[in-house]
Amino acid sequence: MKMSSFFVGLAMSLSVFAAKVEVDVSGMTCGMCVEAITRELKATQRAENITVSLEEKKARFSEPKDRKLTDAEIKTAIKKAGYEAVKIRRN
């Protein structure tokens, strides 16, 4: 029984999130950059599971299937944090 509820939960979580998004970000130099980008992506209330890598200069997150962020919204959030979204990829 527990295993079946796990798979139901997994299926539900997969259906809720449409895509994983990866954004190349320019201008990041420190941990404060990571915090600022994370904060602004969270503020959209549609980015989930956010990770920002200073070393890779990338932000990654998942977005809900029914409330996707547009590229313009992603660029605006990152610009509001003080950086530039160079390339956006979804998979």
For 60-79, what is each residue's pLDDT tens digit?
Answer: 999 988 889 999 999 999 99
What phi and psi values does residue 68 have, to the nearest 5 degrees? -65, 145
What phi and psi values does residue 86 have, to the nearest 5 degrees? -85, -45
Position 27 scores a pLDDT of 97
Distance CA 81, CA 30 (A): 13
**Where exactly are the structural domains of the chain?**
17-90
> Given pLDDT bands bounded at 50, 70 and 90, which one contains residue 8?
very low
For 29-54, what is each residue's pLDDT tens digit?
Answer: 999 999 999 999 999 999 999 999 99
**Mean model confidence pLDDT for the chain:** 87
CATH topology of domain 17-90: Alpha-Beta Plaits (3.30.70)
Q: Would you say 23 and 59 are in contact if contact means Cβ atoms under 8 Å apart? A: yes
Strand partners, 21: 61, 90
In eight-state DSSP terms, residue 46 is: -
